[in-house]
Amino acid sequence: MSGVNELRIVGFLCNWCSYGGADAAGVGRLAQPTDLRIIRMPCSGRINPLFVARTLLSGADGVLVSGCHPRDCHYAEGNFYARRRLEVFKRLLPTLGIDPGRFEYTWVSASEGQRWQTVVTTFTEQIHRLGPMPRFSPGEACVAVLAESGG
Amino acid sequence: MNVLSQLKEQIAATLPNLDLVIGWERGFDPLHHTPLFMRRPEDVERLVIDALCVHNLAVYLPGLKNKKVGVAVKGCDSRAVNQLAREGLIKRENVVVFGFPCDGAADLTKVRRQLGDISGVQSAALEGDLLRVVVDGKERETPLKDVLADKCLRCRYPNALTHDHFAGEPREARVQTDDYKDVVDFEALPLEARFAHWQQEMQRCIRCYACRNACPMCVCRDHCVAQSRDPHWVTQEDETREKWMFQIIHAMHLAGRCVECGECQRACPVDIPILALKRKLNKEIRELFDFEAGVDPQAVPPLLSFQVEEKNINERGW
């Protein structure tokens, strides 16, 4: 991504598969974009969809969640619950006025270094296409209210 | 015998076996009814039921979990009773539900829009399809259908879905299916317009949390994350972003649980259309899991369960 300003992307990765996968990609010296900051979680089932909401509202431009493949969860069923929650949350985004492409969830196992590289690269490109996340501007909001009240 | 006197009879007959029965009575002015807690036989006389009985009284049930309580419910309110029982937040055997056919509840914001300032209202009467009010000695009227809440115009469940006593005859639903046209229309707007819409609406929020307090499914009460510092989900900053964050939390905590009684939006003192978020989630929950909260008392809440192969989630495409 040379010549392009970095954007802020946060990744929530499960400890057992995707974090290992990202590590494998690093050990294998696979080139990856550097926009992503990783937060290690015990399991994708630990990831509250509201983590994603809070992250997007607090300054991130994109959020990536990755866990073990379905049927491969270290805790047997954490990612099954996660899948339902995250899918519901992703579908709420259009109504919030946030592009649903700013949030993706996927599954990467500990041995899939290559797949991790593809996921990170694709997602980073996607966020760069969308650009920085729009923000509520407190200043403008005040001006709008004042203008409305004629003050 | 009309529905009200029949309901009063049923309540009076059951009251001796219960700690209290919750209904509605006339409030501080003729347009505002208020919840009525009936403990003695003479309290039953104050009960009213009409289009101004806007509150969802199921909101009181979780706090009275270990008491024997009767509650009068509209169709939408009965879904809350079902859902609370399904989640184990109330004991259904401790609750006696009094159902009646509901003709729809008025939205006082719409009344204000139709009739102007109604703060000095002296009398209000529902005559057939007309709402007639007297404000400052002047009579004004409006067709009732113009002031019914939006949820009532698309009501599929006018009769209590669960009840132990039912007064009157069940009535026909206004519509058979909900096509979520409001949600579809909103999403047809450009993304920037949707974002700007929420900025415009949410900056009015005064963080009174009336939406949360009126919600029958918001049961955390004093432990709500909105006021907790550990975890610190929302800050005290006076920013639209934080108000917005709370609404997202509220909506997500109701995913697969919201019964669309519309209490959040009705209780909002600054008329923020927050029901839109819950409607959107309900639409998606219905498409994904074919589930509607509070309709089938046996159905498993979708976010408390899973299937190894999800029929409607195709996450491999990414």
Condensed to tens digits (0 to 9), the pLDDT of residues B293-307 reads: 999 999 999 999 999
**CA–CA dist B181, B87 (Å, integer):** 29
Q: What is the pLDDT of residue A150?
A: 55
Residues constituting chain A: 151
A44-94 residue pLDDT tens? 999 999 999 999 999 999 999 999 999 999 999 999 999 999 999 999 999
B131-180 residue pLDDT tens? 999 998 899 999 999 999 999 999 999 999 999 999 999 999 999 999 99
Q: What is the pLDDT of residue A144?
A: 59
Q: pLDDT band at residue B126, thresholds of 50, 70 and 90?
A: confident
**CA–CA dist A118, B6 (Å, integer):** 69
Q: What are phi and psi of A101, to 5 degrees?
A: -70, -10
Angle between helix B191-202 and helix A78-96 axes, rounded to 10 deg: 90
Q: What b/e sequence results for A84-115 when a residue is b if at least 16 CB atoms lie within 10 Å of its CB, and e otherwise?
A: bbbbbbbbbbbbbbbbeebbbbbbbbbebbeb
Query: Whole-number mean pLDDT of chain B?
Result: 94
B259-301 residue pLDDT tens? 999 999 999 999 999 999 999 999 999 999 999 999 999 999 9
* Span of B117-126, B190-199, B249-258 with lowest mean pLDDT: B117-126
Q: pLDDT band at residue A151, thresholds of 50, 70 and 90?
A: very low
**In the predicted model, is pLDDT for residue B1 greater than 80?**
no
Which residues have C-beta within 8 Å of that of residue B138, sequence separation ≥ 6? none
Chain B interface, mutation test: which of A55, A136, A137, most B Cβ atoms within 10 Å? A136
Which residues of chain A lie closer than 8 angstroms to B255, CB-CB? 85, 88-89, 92
Mean pLDDT of B115-130: 88
Tokens of B174: 């206004």
A86-143 residue pLDDT tens? 999 999 999 999 999 999 999 999 999 999 999 999 999 999 999 999 998 765 555 5
**In the predicted model, is pLDDT for residue B193 greater than 80?**
yes
A2-45 residue pLDDT tens? 456 899 999 999 999 999 999 999 999 999 999 999 999 999 99
Among all residues of chain B, which has the CA nearest to that of A69?
B316
Domain range annotation of chain A: 9-149
Q: What is the pLDDT of residue B238?
A: 87
Q: What is the pLDDT of residue A1?
A: 47
Higher per-residue pLDDT: B269 or B238: B269
Nearest to B203 among A85, A104, A141 (CB): A141
Q: Judged by CB atoms within 8 Å, which residues 266-305 of B form the interface with A?
A: 276-277, 280-281, 284-285, 288-289, 302-303
Higher per-residue pLDDT: B182 or B117: B182
Chain B interface, mutation test: which of A86, A92, A121, A149, most B Cβ atoms within 10 Å? A92
**What is the pairing mode between strands A62-67 and A36-41?**
unpaired
Among all residues of chain A, which has the CA nearest to that of B182?
A95
Which residues have C-beta within 8 Å of that of residue B109, sequence separation ≥ 6? B271
Q: What is the pLDDT of residue A145?
A: 56
Neighbour tally for B26: CB within 10 Å = 16
Size of interface A-B (CB pairs under 8 A): 113
What's the CATH code, domain A9-149? 3.40.50
Mean pLDDT of B234-245: 92
What ipTM does the predicted assembly reach?
0.92
Which residues have C-beta within 8 Å of that of residue B13, sequence separation ≥ 6? none
Domains of chain B: 1-103+154-175 (no CATH), 108-147 (3.10.450), 178-310 (no CATH)
Tokens of A13: 């990765």
Nearest to B318 among A92, A99, A106 (CB): A106
**CA–CA dist B74, B105 (Å, integer):** 9
Contacts 24+ apart (CB under 8 A), B197-202: B197/A97, B198/A96, B198/A97, B198/B244, B199/A136, B199/A137, B199/A141, B199/B240, B200/A144, B201/B272, B201/B273, B202/A136, B202/B240, B202/B243, B202/B244, B202/B247, B202/B272
